[in-house]
């Protein structure tokens, strides 16, 4: 056998080894990169779902109490109906927070309005806002593309007659905070009655939730 000098690597060996290492490093990098991206999307979807459920459960809790009028003198109920906004009154306290209901709806938190508004002043009403009395909106949920109310009478038929309303069908549409470059949403979002709430045409992921909220104080 011919004796080879094995005290070093040939240039070819070095080049081959470097190329293999490069390929391996490249694939490791790619898989980390894509895993990280999908993790970001997942956490954004989870945040969106939390925003959506949080906003909806707050509205459910309060709209359910619309018309709360234990003295029978406050004339509480839904006071303004619109597909995009609900405004209602309730008598839950007196002048002081600990006072019992006093027959009016002019104490704090006794006139509540929900609507989308523009919290970051970018020209888009995409924050679910809650305001009381003539106060300012406070953000209840961010990144909302749609909010829709349908007012129903005791038979479940839509009505805009204040005295006939017994329940409210609320639909809320949320989107992720950032778009997903690998995703496209061109869904036309409609409420349970088929009325279009939002026509998407971008790469945000979205989720929609509808709740039928019975105003338990409005069934006389
Ligand atoms: Ca009062
Ligand atoms: Ca009151
Ligand atoms: Ca905005």
**Which ligand places an atom closest to the C-alpha of 101?**
2
**Which ligand places an atom closest to the C-alpha of 127?**
3
* Ligand 1 center–CA 92 separation, angstroms: 10
**Sequence ranges of the domains in the chain:** 40-218
* Ligand 2 center–CA 55 separation, angstroms: 25
**Which ligand places an atom closest to the C-alpha of 126?**
3
* Ligand 3 center–CA 187 separation, angstroms: 21
* Ligand 1 center–CA 91 separation, angstroms: 8
Q: Given this model, what pLDDT does residue 29 score? A: 63
Q: Given this model, what pLDDT does residue 26 score? A: 64
* Ligand 1 center–CA 194 separation, angstroms: 41
* Ligand 2 center–CA 95 separation, angstroms: 7
Q: Given this model, what pLDDT does residue 41 score? A: 84
pTM to 2 decimals?
A: 0.82
CA gap 61, 210 in Å, rounded: 14
**Which ligand places an atom closest to the C-alpha of 118?**
3
Please count the residues of the chain.
Answer: 220
Q: Given this model, what pLDDT does residue 13 score? A: 82
* Ligand 1 center–CA 103 separation, angstroms: 7
**Which ligand places an atom closest to the C-alpha of 91?**
2
Angle at 115 between CA 109 and CA 125, to 5 degrees: 135
Helix (H) or strand (E) holding 216: none
Q: Given this model, what pLDDT does residue 36 score? A: 64
Q: Given this model, what pLDDT does residue 21 score? A: 73
Q: Given this model, what pLDDT does residue 19 score? A: 76
Q: Given this model, what pLDDT does residue 14 score? A: 79
Low-confidence ranges of the chain (pLDDT < 70): 1-7, 23-39, 220
Q: Given this model, what pLDDT does residue 105 score? A: 97
CA gap 120, 180 in Å, rounded: 22
Q: What percent helix, strand, coil does the chain show, rounded to 5? A: 25, 30, 45
CA gap 133, 110 in Å, rounded: 7
Q: Given this model, what pLDDT does residue 39 score? A: 66
* Ligand 3 center–CA 112 separation, angstroms: 21
């Amino acid at each position: 056998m011919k004796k080879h000098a094995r005290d070093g690597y040939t240039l070819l060996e070095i080049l081959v080894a470097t190329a293999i290492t490069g390929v391996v490093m490249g694939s490791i990098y790619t898989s980390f990169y894509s895993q990280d991206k999908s993790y970001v999307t997942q956490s954004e979807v989870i945040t969106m779902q939390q925003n959506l459920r949080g906003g909806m459960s707050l509205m459910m809790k309060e709209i359910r109490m619309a018309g709360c009028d234990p003295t029978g003198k406050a004339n509480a109920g839904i006071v303004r109906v619109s597909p995009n906004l609900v405004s209602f009154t309730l008598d839950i306290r007196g002048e002081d927070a600990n006072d019992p209901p006093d027959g009016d709806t002019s104490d704090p938190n006794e006139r509540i309005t929900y609507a989308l508004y523009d919290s970051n002043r970018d020209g888009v009403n995409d924050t679910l806002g809650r305001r009381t009395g003539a106060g300012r909106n406070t953000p209840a949920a961010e990144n909302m593309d749609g909010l829709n109310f349908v007012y129903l009478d005791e038979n479940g038929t839509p009505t805009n007659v204040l005295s006939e309303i017994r329940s409210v069908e609320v639909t809320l549409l949320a989107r992720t905070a950032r778009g997903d470059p690998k995703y496209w949403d061109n869904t036309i979002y409609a409420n349970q009655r088929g009325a279009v709430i939002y026509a998407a045409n971008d790469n945000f992921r979205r989720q929609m939730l509808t709740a039928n909220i019975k105003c338990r104080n409005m069934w006389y």
